Amino acid sequence: MIDNIGVRGIDLISEMYEQQAIHVEEFFETAAVDVPDDKRAVHLVREEYAVIDIEKTKFEVIGTSGLDFSVAVFLVASFTNRIGLVHFARDKMVTHGMGSLISVLLENYEADSDGVAAGAGARRRVGPVIEAHIVGGFQDPGNVCEGIVRQVLDVMMGSEARFVIKLGCTGLLNDSSHNGNEEDMNGPRCALFTSFCMDFKRNNGGNLNTKLSPVGTFEDRGPGLTLRQTRLFNIPDESTVLPTTTVTDENNFLWNAFCTDSDRFMIEPFVFDVLDRQSLGILLHLTHANTDELIEFISEPKVSHHNFQVFIQDLAQVFRFLLKQPSPEQIFKKRPLYFSIGKGGKKWVVQPYSRIVAPLVLPENQEKAEKEMPTHVHRTIYQ
């Protein structure tokens, strides 16, 4: 159930916006923060989810970016010391993504409460309370994100856990700078923020404190960024789908980007379409010559003008990678790749080591790639 939203004969989204109006005002008055590369951050790209255990983790923040046409859901389960994040780009992914996230958040709770008063039967009555923060979709006149939010609320209502929505801030409906008016759709505040992060720590009393903030800069967008974005060319394959899915619905589930127990980034095996070199050369050319045709080819929604150039540069990096004709079998060897923070806390170390993967994850190579960007591209906004 959702504790702070009435559900009888009332549109959930409308009531969520009305009840969160004060919180939204306070939220947008918060100055945007920067996440420097020396601050250990779990940064997700679209269609990924992650759960961190604050008692085990070496990381300090969790966040995501590129939320102009997509939605992020932050979930805080203080009773299991876990914080989760999922980044939705399509409503078809919500059922799997929210289900996976909630399952991992409640994992310890269910294991510790087997047969006790707080078990499955009692949980529906008094159960654990999960705090939810829903943000994003501020550049979405097509209402894609509204569909995502409705699906998210449906999953919450059907869950055994109880949810308290601490912040519901999506789309254009709840920003007083334009009040949903068509003529004011480019209001000054929503348009500024497409990145968010959550800081977390325990206070002296042992309580978990979290703070969600808009982000100006993610200095480090995580390891294996190019490889993770290559999932755009993912091919459904029986050997890579989850046990509970089929080839036909594989594109409706999200990727787990983080191993909670070992506190490491993770890239699960996937099969990608290695196009012929001529086609890849044409696509790479389109990143410079005809970006509209490129976007149409890959069936991606256009991102906002703030994020567009960096999005195209990220695609160019993917095409350069695919031009090397890498083999998915060589990269993954039928097992996930794991990434840990190396000595000194700055370099990412890939396990198991691969000469194919290593150039994609080390910071010096990320910096070298970004030096190829045009000088007018600002990497501080897009994911």
Q: Which residue has the higher pLDDT, 183 or 145?
A: 145
Statement: residue 383 has pLDDT above 80: no
Pair 55, 148 in one domain? yes
- Return d(Cα 377, Cα 131) in angstroms, integer: 36
Q: Which residue has the higher pLDDT, 219 or 367?
A: 219
Pair 276, 341 in one domain? yes
Pair 152, 281 in one domain? no
- Specify the CATH number for the domain of residue 34: 3.30.1330.200
pLDDT average, residue stretch 27-55: 83
Pair 213, 114 in one domain? yes
**Percentage of the chain lying above the pLDDT 70 cut:** 62
Model pLDDT for residues 61-107, shown as the tens digit of each residue: 999 988 877 899 999 998 888 999 999 988 888 998 999 899 999 88
Pair 381, 278 in one domain? yes
Statement: residue 215 has pLDDT above 60: yes
pLDDT average, residue stretch 343-360: 65
- The reported pLDDT for the residue numbered 329 is 79
- Upper half-sphere CA count for residue 56 (Cβ side, 13 Å): 13
Whether 160 is covered by a domain: the verdict is yes
Whether 17 is covered by a domain: the verdict is yes
Pair 206, 291 in one domain? no
- The reported pLDDT for the residue numbered 266 is 92
Pair 251, 362 in one domain? yes
Pair 238, 307 in one domain? yes
- Among 198, 221, 244, give the residue marking a domain's end: 221
Statement: residue 189 has pLDDT above 70: no
- The reported pLDDT for the residue numbered 303 is 62
Model pLDDT for residues 297-320, shown as the tens digit of each residue: 665 555 666 677 778 888 888 888
pLDDT average, residue stretch 157-185: 65
Statement: residue 327 has pLDDT above 60: yes
E-assigned strands of the chain? 33-35, 41-44, 48-53, 61-64, 71-77, 82-88, 129-136, 162-170, 196-202, 208-218, 234-235, 255-256, 258-259, 264-267, 271-272, 337-341, 348-351
Model pLDDT for residues 226-270, shown as the tens digit of each residue: 889 888 777 655 444 333 333 334 456 789 999 999 999 999 988
Q: Which residue has the higher pLDDT, 171 or 5?
A: 171
- The reported pLDDT for the residue numbered 20 is 56
Highest mean pLDDT of the ranges 123-127, 134-138, 172-176, 348-352: 134-138
Determine what percent of the chain falls in helix, strand and coil, rounding each to the nearest 5: 35, 25, 40
Pair 171, 278 in one domain? no
Q: What is the mean pLDDT of the chain?
A: 72
Question: Looking at the 3D structure of the chain, how many domains does it have?
Answer: 2
Pair 200, 227 in one domain? no
Which residues constitute the domain of residue 352?
223-383
Whether 7 is covered by a domain: the verdict is no
Whether 16 is covered by a domain: the verdict is yes
Pair 182, 248 in one domain? no
- The reported pLDDT for the residue numbered 257 is 94
Pair 373, 306 in one domain? yes
- Among 200, 221, 242, give the residue marking a domain's end: 221
Model pLDDT for residues 24-35, shown as the tens digit of each residue: 656 666 667 788
- Among 221, 253, 268, give the residue marking a domain's end: 221
